[in-house]
Structure 1
Amino acid sequence: MTRRLARLLPRRRRSSRIPRRLTALVLALVLLPLLPATALAADPPVPPPSSPAARSAVAAMQPGWNLGNTYDAIPDETSWGNPPVTRALFQKVKSQGFKSIRLPVTWGIHQGSAPDYRIDAAWMAKVRQVVDLALSEDLYVLLNMHHDSWMWVNTLSTDHDTVLTRYTATWTQIAAEFRDRSPRLALESINEPTFSDTAGDDENYRLLAELNKVFHRIVRGSGGGNANRLLVLPTLYTNADQGRLDALATELADLRDPMVATTVHFYGWWPFSVNIAGYTRFDATSEQDLTGTFDRVHNAFTARGIPVVIGEYALLAYDHNRPGIIQRGEQRKYFEFLGDYARRRNLTTMLWDAGQFLNRTTLQWRDAELFGQIRASWTTRSGTASSDMVFVPKSGAVTSQELTLNLNGTDFQGLRHGSRPLLRGRDYTVSGNRLTLTAAALTALVGDRAHGVNATLEARFSRGVPWRIDVISHDRPVLSSASGNTGGLSVPTQFRGDMLATMEAKYDDGGNAGPADWTSYQQWDTAFSAYTGDAIKLTAEFFTSLRDNARVTLTFHFWSGAKVTYHVTKSGSTVTGSPA
């Protein structure tokens, strides 16, 4: 992925997760039901419930916001594109309804050598200052150990004593520094724990349990406010697969500490979250992945009185610098659904923001409409629709267009164009959940039918935020011949008001072509992209994966429903492309 994306996403999301996720999917859907009962793990011990104080604190932290890619950045706070932290930032965050911040911190690059592993005094002072700034604004703070997880903690299995000594020294210093801070400061043992060169999950679980127990012993033993401070413990990879949850439940049963909470992360159904395998919409599969995840977490912990923090949530490929990977309306449906279901399952959510949501220089939301959807989801549902786009051909007859309303328990109140309400019966009709825009209304809205958005409507509901609908004039996109090399190919494209949704790639023999050879629908950015108004780009990674001198047929799928085919061939280091 690009360096810009690397700065915007947390460390785990800068590496490929395809092999592990595919393996997990196969096990979950195919292999696991075939295993004999004796191969399944025994039920984990039932951990005792957390105290009312712990549950109250986690509830009071809802909703939360991550100060991502700042104190976790490498090597320093501004290295990944964000400005220094100011009081005004926390005032803005609080004014937008957030009750807590998660403060990811990478400690290891600011430490001295063995045996003391002394944390640089200036770095500790910076962390202390930002904690105090947030606390002074009446925000809860969740402070953690972040990218250390993959920088040095992950070698615990092969360098056990050295890693454990360093981990102990690091948390001993952090605990001493913050032992007398407000109880609104909580501590998280480690971010997205992962271990290298292990024999498998049983060893991974044992190593994580050892780390969490050391963390618990150090913090509780440091006295002061730490004796009863809220401690947050992650699952392996902060993943919500049942085995990860069961392993953490076993840890909690062993610790028997009433002031603990648990944490997992959630970035959506993986194919949808990165635009691969044709998952361009927040569909029933994506919904089921989300509800299944939150149900498992609820059943494992919150139903037993143990609070849960979704310590990070967003979409893996969401990036304001790269619009189009996940279509705007589909993003909104995802965040609307997530906020509501988390609320129904009593989960505290913390938005992962590495600068892609809140511009920390201007203190303005990069997409105010999207944030409005997120904020509304904390308290209520909003109506949506099957799409936020209505396409009208540039030439030829204008016909009526239909959308399906997702009422989500609301009542449809009507349509507006700017300050003008559209008239029901003349401009639109509603039958059940079907909204139809009439040909007469669309004709007036598109005007001279210039390519692109000609009008924007608002569908209003009895609760939540309005649903935006763009009325777009379009023609079938036109792609032109191109030649280049395996470093990448820019295909001249006249989009003519349309937008690219995804790309299929197949050889003439019917086999899938591209880096993801398990699907014909390739991944946005890995195989292709479309960020400019004049070209579709095919990547070096795409051409590296192709067979030599074998023609590949690309099918570009556009949001209007148009499909355009195109041929490419690689011959040595030369590539050529032409319309089908």
Structure 2
Amino acid sequence: MAVSNPRALAAAAASYFLTVSAAPTKRGAECAGSFEPISAADYVAAINPGWNLGNTLDATPDEGSWNNPPVQATTFDDVKAAGFKSVRIPVTYTHHFTGESPDWTIDPDWLQRVEDVVDMALERDLYVITNVHHADSWEWADVTRPDANLTMIEEKIHRAWVQIGEKLGCKSSLVAFEPINEPPAETAEHGAELNKINELFLQALAESGGFNTQRVVTLVGGAMDSMKTSQWFEAPTGYDNPWAIQYHYYSPYDFIFSAWGKTILSTDDLTTIKADLTNIRNNFTDVPLVLGEFDASPLNTEPAARRRYTDLVVRTAAALNTAVVIWDNGLDHLDRETHAWKDPHSLSILMNAAEGTPNSLADATTDAYATSQSSSAYVFHRVGDSVEDYTVSLLLNGNTLDSIAVDGPDGETLAAGAEYRATPEGDVTFTTEFLGRRLSAAPDAEPGSKANLTLSFSAGGTAGVEIVQWDVPVLESNTSKAVAGADLLIPITFKGLKYPAAVKMLRSDGVYLFDDWTQYLGPLQAAYGTYNGQWNWLGDNLVLTAATVDAVIAAGVDTTFTFDFFPRVPGNSVNYTLTV
């Protein structure tokens, strides 16, 4: 898309600008000291990679209302130590407006809290992007609603940013602003309204004083979706701010959200990811780009596939001069209480990919129509089987294997030759001598995770291999009568990894409980449900959500749920039947 000749705003937009102000006026924050301007291109280069302080100041109705405690400065120490250069601080203002039209006053205590958190990051020399986030775009700023009050939305976004700009206007050039998170848009008309909101945002910054007319901003398109942004975004005119475009990427949807049983990152997926990121760059060849949210969570994605996804997204973005900011809702990556990263290998891969350094990766199944799934992120040994040499395959990507060590304070470094053998092609074989000290051929051997290994290479990030002794889990019972209106918890004794991989949902009449179109997917996806919305797990319980139980009752047909586990091989599953 050419952005050097943007279309004029619609007549409706022009009338609002005349109402608010005939031209941007200078008022608001007055700052002592100086401001070191930075171009949008230099800013985007400097913030890569970044981290999102998710589900925190953006929680509703207040900070601490969701799964995270109030922000502690030590969190930014952890982020800085991990190698991140920037933080995105999403903020929801919906429940902090204390006044109505036309002033839309924001609670000064909330603005002070936002400033305090921004300062925590700045004190650690982290770049900061902050915005108007969750419920703001969900509740009062959704331009797609049939009853959307555009006059109110425009007035409120303008007044919000005047106040935010006044509060943060004297911050250094490390701070950038983003008008609103993922604003819904379904049509070109909606896209035009969001272009108008970008301009109102810039007008508000001009009115708010301080250094805000020199500050970098990351503007947004429809839903911050790359395709909608490419279709409908138009560049603002008449303002001096250096600007970039920010977009978000949670694709392939079924892989990222474990929908329809998907645990494989397929060959087609890998091609599509690269094409998607390339397409938006081709549409904005001369505009700095920020990929402000992306994520493949350790909670629900298979590790070899997840690490390959992270590597591909970050590496492709870096090659396209696009900064990345990983989403972290406090459950996904950094444990803010223990200060530990949940998948340090993904973190290492991300950091190296952002620098353009090749990573070596665990290989895994990429055939979407496979009947089983292999993963070189694991050594899987079934209880009762003899302990034998076990080979995992790596995508070395030009590197060589340097060492293998057992994780933990007393971890040992494996002896090449005696405990493992490696080929130049990337096959690593763990010997019976090594595995026999952790695994057993006894039929009553204890299942579970036996060790985690870290593989280090001549360059790039680390790879992880977990040694798991497994057997088929056991349910406390295999059937019950469906009871409407509540989640169903099914007690289970796990025997290996302590979570399910996917759940097949098939009625006794042969009809799929949900989404009969999945018959066209592979055998590990046909008739399968979606994580979180339809199934989950909690401690030593499998969970069928209330929506799933209610669907069984509505169908009026007994339904069998087949819970698959890792390794996803024939026989490693259990059945549970809900009767009506």
Cα offsets for 1:69-128 (capped at 9, x unmatched): 222222222222433334443333323322222121222322211221122222222222
1:154 CA drift (Å) = 1.2
Provide the rounded CA distance (Å) in 1 between the counterparts of 2:382 and 2:574. 20
Question: SS at the partner of 1:293?
Answer: helix
Report the secondary structure of 1:530's partner residue.
strand
1:181 aligned counterpart, secondary structure: coil
**Higher share of residues assigned helix:** 1
User: Paired residue for 1:384, among 358, 361, 364?
Assistant: 361
Once the two structures are TM-superposed, the CA of residue 444 in structure 1 deviates from its matched residue by: 4.2
- C-alpha distance after superposition, 1:311-365 (max 9, x if no partner): 12223xx37xxx4x22344333322332222222221111222322333344443
TM-score by length of 1: 0.79
Give the SS at the match of 1:506: strand
Match of 2:336 among 356, 360, 369: 360
Q: C-alpha displacement at 1:522, in angstroms?
A: 0.9
Determine which of 313, 319, 323 is the counterpart of 1:338. 313
Give the aligned residue type for 1:507: R
Tell me the residue number matched to 2:326: 351
In 1: Cα distance, 2:188 partner to 2:245 partner: 20
Residues 517-548 of structure 1, C-alpha deviation per residue, up to 9 Å, x if partnerless? 74511112333233434x43333222222265
Q: Contact 1:482–1:490 at 8 Å: present in 2 too?
A: no
Shift of 1:308: 0.8
State the 1:372 CA deviation. 3.5
Distance 1:485 1:507 in 2: 13
C-alpha distance in 2, partners of 1:143/1:427?
48
1:362-386, Cα deviation, whole Å (9 max, x unpaired): 4443444443443343322321213
Q: Which runs of 5+ in 2 are unaligned?
A: 7-36, 364-374, 519-525
Give unpaired runs (5+ residues) of structure 1. 1-42, 572-580
Aligned to 2:155: 165
Which amino acid letter does the alignment assign opposite residue 136 of structure 1? E
The residue number in structure 2 matching 1:576 is: none
Q: 1:175 to 1:279 in 2, by over 3 A?
A: same
C-alpha separation in 2, matches of 1:206 and 1:444: 65
Deviation at 1:295, TM superposition (A): 0.8
SS of equivalent to 1:105: coil
Give the deviation of 1:224 after TM superposition.
4.3
Distance 1:556 1:260 in 2: 48
Pick closer, same or farther for the CA change 1:292–1:173 going to 2, 3 Å: same
- Give the match for residue 370 of structure 2: none
Q: Does 1:481 align with 2:464?
A: no
Which of 307, 313, 325 is the matching residue for 2:288? Answer: 307
Q: Is the 8 A contact 1:482 1:489 kept in 2?
A: no
Aligned letter for 1:355?
A: G
* Residues 548 and 570, structure 1, Cα contact 8 Å, conserved in 2: no
Q: Deviations over 1:429-460 (max 9, x none)?
A: 53734334445543344146431223433333
Q: Distance in 1 between matches of 2:179 and 2:166?
A: 15
Which digits, 9 at most, give the CA deviation of each residue in 1:40-64, with x for residues without a partner? Answer: xxx655569xx98221111111122
Provide the residue aligned with 2:251 in structure 1.
268
**CA apart distance, 1:275:** 1.1
What does residue 29 of structure 2 align with?
none
Residue of structure 1 aligned with 2:439, choices 441, 446, 452: 446
Whether 1:456 aligns to 2:452 is yes
The residue number in structure 2 matching 1:237 is 223
Aligned counterparts of 2:249 and 2:184: Cα–Cα separation in 1: 16
1:150 corresponds to which of 135, 138, 155 = 138
- Over 3 Å counting, the alpha-carbon distance change for 1:416 and 1:223 in structure 2 is closer
C-alpha distance in 1, partners of 2:125/2:419? 52
Residues 1:496 and 1:77: Cα distance change in structure 2 (over 3 Å): closer
1:568 equivalent in alignment to 2:543: no
Aligned mates of 1:96, 1:224 — CA distance in 2: 32
C-alpha separation in 1, matches of 2:438 and 2:339: 34
| Contact 1:515/1:527 (8 A) holds in 2 | no
Compared CA separation, residues 537 and 191, structure 1 to 2 (3 A): closer
Q: What does residue 30 of structure 2 align with?
A: none
SS at structure 2 position matched to 1:225: coil
Quote the residue 2:504 is aligned against. Answer: 504
- Which residue matches 1:89? 75
Paired residues of 1:400 and 1:436 also in contact (CA < 8 A): yes
Q: Percent identity?
A: 29
Q: Distance in 1 between matches of 2:420 and 2:273?
A: 37
Q: Which amino acid letter does the alignment assign opposite residue 544 of structure 1?
A: D
Change in Cα spacing, 1:128 to 1:444, as seen in structure 2 (3 Å) is: closer
Structure 1: distance between partners of 2:287 and 2:505: 47
Residues 444, 180 of structure 1: CA spacing in aligned structure 2 closer, same or farther, 3 A cutoff?
closer
Instruction: Identify the match of residue 217 of structure 1 among 194, 203, 206.
Output: 203
Q: Distance in 2 between matches of 1:474 and 1:466?
A: 25
Decide whether aligned partners of structure 1 residues 227 and 52 sit closer, same or farther in structure 2, where only a CA change above 3 A counts.
closer
Question: What is the Cα deviation at residue 188 of structure 1?
Answer: 1.0
Alpha-carbon distance between aligned partners in 2 of 1:262 and 1:221, rounded to the nearest angstrom: 22
Structure 2: distance between partners of 1:300 and 1:52 = 24
| Partners of 1:366 and 1:457 in 2: CA distance | 15
Letter in 2 for 1:430: T
1:457 to 1:180, Cα distance in 2 relative to 1, 3 A: closer
Work out which of the residue numbers 384, 392, 405 in structure 1 matches 2:394: 405
Sort the Cα spacing of 1:73 and 1:457 in 2 relative to 1 into closer, same or farther, 3 A.
closer
- CA drift of 1:208 comes to 0.5
TM-score w.r.t. the length of structure 2 is: 0.79
Matches of 2:326 and 2:141, distance apart in 1: 25
Structure 2 residue 547 is the aligned partner of structure 1 residue 541: yes
Kindly indicate whether the alpha-carbon contact (under 8 Å) linking 1:404 and 1:435 is maintained by their aligned counterparts in 2.
Answer: yes
Check the 8 A contact 1:312/1:350 in 2, yes or no. Answer: yes
Deviation at 1:401, TM superposition (A): 3.1
CA contact (8 A) 1:482 1:491 kept: no
Give, in angstroms, the shift of residue 270 of structure 1.
Answer: 0.7
Residues 75 and 427 of structure 1: is their aligned pair in 2 closer, same or farther, counting only changes over 3 Å?
A: closer
Q: Whole-Å Cα distance in 2 between the matches of residues 124 and 277 of structure 1?
A: 42
Relative to structure 2, which stretch is displaced further, 385-394 or 435-444? 435-444
What residue in structure 1 maps to residue 527 of structure 2? 520
1:205 aligns with 191
1:505, 1:554 within 8 Å by CA — same for their partners in 2? yes
With over 3 angstroms needed to count, the CA separation of the structure-2 counterparts of 1:556 and 1:131, relative to structure 1, is closer
Distance across 1 between alignment mates of 2:130 and 2:556:
54
> Structure 1 residues 228 and 428 mapped into 2: Cα distance closer, same or farther (>3 Å)?
same
The amino acid of 2:199's aligned partner reads: K
Query: Secondary structure at the residue paired with 2:468?
Result: strand
1:514, 1:543 within 8 Å by CA — same for their partners in 2? no
Alignment partner of 2:462 out of 466, 469, 480: 466
Q: Which residue of 2 aligns with 1:194?
A: 184
In the TM superposition, residue 565 of structure 1 has moved relative to its aligned partner by 5.4
Query: Helix, strand or coil for the counterpart of 2:183?
Result: coil
Match of 2:122 among 135, 139, 159: 135
| 1:383–1:256 Cα change, 3 Å | same
Cα–Cα, structure 1 residues 259 and 411, in superposed 2: closer, same or farther, change >3 Å?
A: same
The answer to whether the aligner puts 1:180 opposite 2:167 as a matched pair is: no
Cα deviations by residue, 1:469-500 (Å, 9 ceiling, x for unpaired)? 22222223344423243344444544332553
Counterpart check, 1:105 vs 2:91 = yes
Structure-2 residue corresponding to 1:246: 231
In 1, Cα distance between the equivalents of 2:313 and 2:116? Answer: 33
